[in-house]
């Protein structure tokens, strides 16, 4: 897994991150979603590394990276805090400017990185996500039924208790789907009570502080300044919930493209070659 990549833990101003990096050329940062670790990219990263420097961290609160301290507003788990980690990590590795791709919950951190640090981000790639504010404002009975976990995870204590009763039954996943090494890494994470808390806090931040940052941006008329590509899984919920996914993103961006991919939610595991080809084409043509 990740042959030729280096694995290390780095200390940043506000967090320590486990990070895997390799390849050479223009840098691209890959941010995983919930409940994965950076290992979800193990089939995509080597394809990108043929022409790019690829950086795959465990996002703060996930995997083997540090868990933020609890505060009443969940600011330590906010996407703004995690965006600071992204910029600090890339600068530590020698990159002042970089492309960033984020999947699922990682897409919110990728978006916030591009919004808060426009001079640092050359390209933004969103995988299976819309801005948190848009999701909440468009929430209806269908969203609340299918994505009920957003609101359950916002409750104190009970989500952690429910998940830790049987993490593997709660989250699923298999070595056949994910690859043996990636599955072992993921399984170690979901059986760690600290990690479960860190992952749930990511949702609590979404409903307490992240959407306020989105609202501030919209009031100020701020948009993503770099080229943006949005990809979504055709066998997942995004298109069914929002219809015109690009239409949701258009008011937030200045240069936008995107389409659906014929796979399920975990596209880096299910359609790695297609995903890598789309990312490379986007990075090379703009």
Per-residue burial over 202-215, b = 16 or more CB atoms within 10 Å of its CB, e = otherwise: bbbbbebbbbebbe
Q: What pLDDT does 241 receive?
A: 95
Which residues, in sequence order, are CB contacts of 252 under 8 Å at separation 6+?
111, 131, 217, 223, 224
DSSP state of 154: T
Residue 156 tokens, joined? 């104190």
> Any idea which residues carry the catalytic annotation?
104, 265
Indicate the pTM of the whole model.
Answer: 0.98
Domains of the chain and CATH, by start: 6-285 (3.40.50.1820)
183-238 per-position pLDDT tens digit: 999 999 999 999 999 999 999 999 999 999 999 999 999 999 999 999 999 999 99
Per-residue burial over 79-104, b = 16 or more CB atoms within 10 Å of its CB, e = otherwise: bbbbbbbbbbbbeeeebeebbbbbbb
Q: What pLDDT does 61 receive?
A: 98
Instruction: Give residue 178's pLDDT band: very low, low, confident or very high (50, 70, 90).
Output: very high
Q: What pLDDT does 285 receive?
A: 79
User: What is the arithmetic mean of pLDDT over 242-256?
Assistant: 97
User: What is the arithmetic mean of pLDDT over 111-123?
Assistant: 98
Residue 152 tokens, joined? 């359950």
User: What is the arithmetic mean of pLDDT over 248-258?
Assistant: 98
Asked if the model's pLDDT at residue 286 lies above 80, the reply is no
Chain mean position to CA 20: 15
Rounded Cα–Cα distance for residues 192 and 197 (Å): 9
Instruction: Give residue 129's pLDDT band: very low, low, confident or very high (50, 70, 90).
Output: very high
Q: What is the average pLDDT value for the chain, to the nearest integer? A: 97
Q: What pLDDT does 180 receive?
A: 97
* Pairing mode of beta strands 6-11, 228-233: unpaired
Residue 205 tokens, joined? 């931040």
User: What is the arithmetic mean of pLDDT over 242-257?
Assistant: 97
Rounded Cα–Cα distance for residues 256 and 248 (Å): 11
């Amino acid at each position: 897994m990740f042959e030729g990549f280096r694995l290390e833990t780095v200390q940043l101003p506000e967090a320590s991150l486990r990070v895997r990096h390799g390849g050479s050329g223009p840098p691209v940062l890959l941010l995983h979603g919930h409940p994965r670790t950076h290992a979800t990219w193990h089939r995509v990263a080597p394809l990108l590394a043929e022409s790019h420097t690829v950086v795959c961290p465990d996002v703060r609160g996930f995997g083997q990276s540090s868990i933020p301290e609890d505060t009443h507003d969940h600011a330590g788990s906010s996407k703004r805090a995690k965006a600071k980690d992204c910029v600090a990590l890339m600068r530590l590795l020698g990159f002042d400017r970089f492309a960033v791709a984020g999947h699922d919950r990682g897409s919110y951190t990728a978006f916030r990185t591009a919004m808060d640090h426009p001079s640092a981000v050359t390209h933004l790639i969103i995988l299976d996500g819309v801005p948190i504010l848009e999701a909440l404002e468009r929430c209806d009975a269908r969203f609340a039924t299918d994505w009920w976990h957003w609101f359950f995870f916002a409750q104190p204590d009970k989500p952690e208790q429910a998940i830790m009763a049987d993490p593997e039954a709660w989250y699923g996943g298999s070595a056949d789907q994910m690859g043996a090494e990636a599955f072992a890494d993921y399984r170690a994470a979901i059986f760690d009570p600290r990690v479960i808390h860190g992952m749930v806090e990511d949702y609590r931040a979404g409903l307490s502080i992240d959407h306020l940052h989105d609202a501030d941006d919209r009031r100020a008329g701020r948009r993503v300044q770099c080229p943006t590509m949005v990809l979504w899984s055709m066998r997942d919920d995004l298109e069914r919930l929002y219809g015109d996914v690009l239409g949701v993103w258009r008011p937030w961006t200045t240069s936008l493209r995107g389409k659906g991919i014929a796979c399920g939610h975990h596209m880096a595991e299910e359609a790695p070659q297609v995903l890598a080809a789309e990312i490379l084409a986007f990075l090379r043509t703009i």
